[in-house]
Amino acid sequence: MRLSTKMILFNLLAKGVILIGFYLAGPYLVRKYAIDYTDDRLREKKSQVLAIVEEAGIENFFQDDSVSGYGSYNLLKEEYISLEKILDPVPIDSIFDEERIIEDDIVSYRVLAYTFDDNGSMYLMEIGRSLATIQQIEKVISTFILVAFFIFIGTSVLLDTTFHSLLLRPFHKIIYKKIPEIREPSNYTYEPLHTKTTDFKILDEAINQLMMRIQQVFNREREFIAHASHELRTPISVLQSKIENMMAETQLHEQDVQRLMDMLQTIQRFKHLVNSLLLISKIGNAQYIRNEDVDLRQIVQELSEEWAPVAKEKGLDFLTHTASSVIIRESNYSMVLMMIQNAIINAIRYTPANGSVNLSVYREKESTVVEVNDSGKGIPPDLIQQVKSGMVFLKDANNEKSGFGLQIMHKIATYLDVGLSIVSSDQGTKIQFTFKTT
């Protein structure tokens, strides 16, 4: 997953956690705030009522002796105030929720109850505010906060995304433009990154310096290869030409011809060794182009046409299964052909008569797989390990001559960014080449 995507997701997650926290704790907090606010208002009113009582005298609220209390409420019964003479002198000063019956209506109130002494008589004062009013306040506050919160999250996500995109632009340039060029050091561009972020500058400079060193090593290696190849290939060429001209002589005895063939065979082995080493080195140095469109079906058909008769001659079943045309972009036809061909040659070579070799192409999610499987004696695990570790001279304890086929196959796959899987047992070998087709 890309860093920018991760950062946006992380931001969303963090804000989501805050949102959930608010969703869970919000109603409680808002309610607490509304209750506290109401309680403060009730206490203020208590003070106001007490001041009025003191100023006007309690008797003004009890004009008629038959009335033992005073009550007042507004039209919508949202608030009420009551005064009542009590006989039990219990001191009360509390606020609580309670229901009251007013004109046959049961209404829930937040009630402040307070007892006080006036001229030796105890009075109970109650000031109530309907809970419906409090809940209304709660709802208004909650809606306001929720809307404000969503606007905040939306705006911050938008700003974060824009900011991350701007901030990470130099980093994306490193990842998507410079890093892919590492595969071909000779094509690497050393143009410095234009950024004011010090960290990215350091990263860019470090990669450039690293690539410069790699480039120097590659250049030395290339020079060595060119020199060594000239030194080795020219004498081989002289020997090969001499033997070919000698063999063209008509008066040679059969025995002499056979001797010359033996010499040619030795030269051929030497030539193959030099060519293979050079090929491995050149692939490692990224000297081959990768700008061709390669049709896998065409390659499989060509290989099948070429190798099915050889397999049949050996008494092997050679089955081919191809899907519809599959084009691989930015590849190299000869390299792909050589890579798959090496797998087929190995399969035919090491599968005994009456066995089978299958070559198939099939699609798998976002890739296409070319599979070569056989019922041969299998490749020793340590040999597969040596191939994967990049060893050039493979040591096969079971086989005197290991060849370079597997190593060339592995190098080409790595160079062309093709997934290579080798699964082998004494029941056979399955080699899969996975090409990205999207």
Partner 1 sequence: MRTLVVEDQLDLAEEIKSYLDKESFHCDLAQTYASASEQLAINKYDFILIDLGLPDGDGMDLLQEAKKTQDTALFIIITARGEVQDKVTGLLSGADDYLSKPFSLLELKARMQAILRRKSGWTESTFSFGGFTLDPQSRIVKFKEQVIDLTKKEFDLLHFLLLHRKKVINRYQLAEHIWGEYFEDDHQSNFIDVHVKNVRKKLGAFAPTDWLETVRGVGYRIQL
248 belongs to the binding site for partner 1 (CB under 8 A): yes
15 belongs to the binding site for partner 1 (CB under 8 A): no
Give the Cβ contact number of residue 111 at 10 Å. Answer: 20
Q: Which window, 17-25, 136-144, 270-278, 382-390, contacts partner 1 (CB under 8 A)?
A: 270-278
233 belongs to the binding site for partner 1 (CB under 8 A): yes
Q: Is residue 23 classed as helix, strand or coil in its secondary structure? A: helix
185 belongs to the binding site for partner 1 (CB under 8 A): no
Kindly list the distances between the CA atom of residue 162 and the CA atoms of 7, 16, 18, 156, 187, in Å, as whole numbers in the listed order. Answer: 12, 19, 22, 10, 33
244 belongs to the binding site for partner 1 (CB under 8 A): yes
Residue from 53, 370, 408, 422 binding partner 1 (CB under 8 A): 408
Pick 217 or 289: Cβ nearer partner 1? 289
CA separation for the pair 324, 296 (Å, rounded): 9
241 belongs to the binding site for partner 1 (CB under 8 A): yes
Pick 68 or 258: Cβ nearer partner 1? 258
Q: Where are the alpha helices (DSSP H) in 87-197?
A: 131-167, 169-173, 179-181
Q: Which window, 158-166, 169-177, 341-349, 390-398, contacts partner 1 (CB under 8 A)?
A: 341-349
Compute CA 121 distance to the chain's CA centroid, rounded to the nearest angstrom: 80
Residue from 272, 329, 363, 395 binding partner 1 (CB under 8 A): 272
261 belongs to the binding site for partner 1 (CB under 8 A): yes
Residue 346's nearest CA partner among 306, 373, 369 is 373
Pick 356 or 402: Cβ nearer partner 1? 402
170 belongs to the binding site for partner 1 (CB under 8 A): no
- Give me the least distance between CB of 233 and partner 1, in Å please: 4
433 belongs to the binding site for partner 1 (CB under 8 A): no
Question: Which single residue is written with the structure tokens 């002499």?
Answer: 256
Q: Is residue 293 classed as helix, strand or coil in its secondary structure? A: strand
* CB of 175 closer than 8 Å to CB of 193: no
* CB of 388 closer than 8 Å to CB of 424: no
DSSP state of 347: H
Let me know how long the chain is.
438
Give the Cβ contact number of residue 65 at 10 Å. Answer: 6
412 belongs to the binding site for partner 1 (CB under 8 A): no
Non-local (6+) Cβ contacts of 412 within 8 A are 283, 335, 336, 338, 339, 418
CA separation for the pair 109, 107 (Å, rounded): 6
Q: Is residue 356 classed as helix, strand or coil in its secondary structure? A: strand
At 85, list the tokens: 């003479």
236 belongs to the binding site for partner 1 (CB under 8 A): yes
Residue 30's nearest CA partner among 117, 126, 144 is 144
401 belongs to the binding site for partner 1 (CB under 8 A): yes
392 belongs to the binding site for partner 1 (CB under 8 A): no
Over its C-alpha atoms, the chain yields an Rg (Å, rounded) of 45
Pick 22 or 270: Cβ nearer partner 1? 270
Pick 149 or 270: Cβ nearer partner 1? 270
* CB of 345 closer than 8 Å to CB of 377: no
Q: How many residues bind partner 1 (CB under 8 A)?
A: 52
- Give me the least distance between CB of 215 and partner 1, in Å please: 15
- Give me the least distance between CB of 256 and partner 1, in Å please: 11
Q: Which window, 41-49, 69-77, 189-197, 221-229, contacts partner 1 (CB under 8 A)?
A: 221-229
Pick 194 or 349: Cβ nearer partner 1? 349
Site string for partner 1, 275-314 (x = CB under 8 A): xx-xx--x----xxx------------x--xx--xx--x-
The contact set with partner 1 (CB under 8 A) reads 222, 225-226, 229-234, 236-242, 244-245, 247-248, 257-258, 261, 264-265, 267-268, 271-272, 275-276, 278-279, 282, 287-289, 302, 305-306, 309-310, 313, 338, 342, 345, 349, 401, 403-405, 408
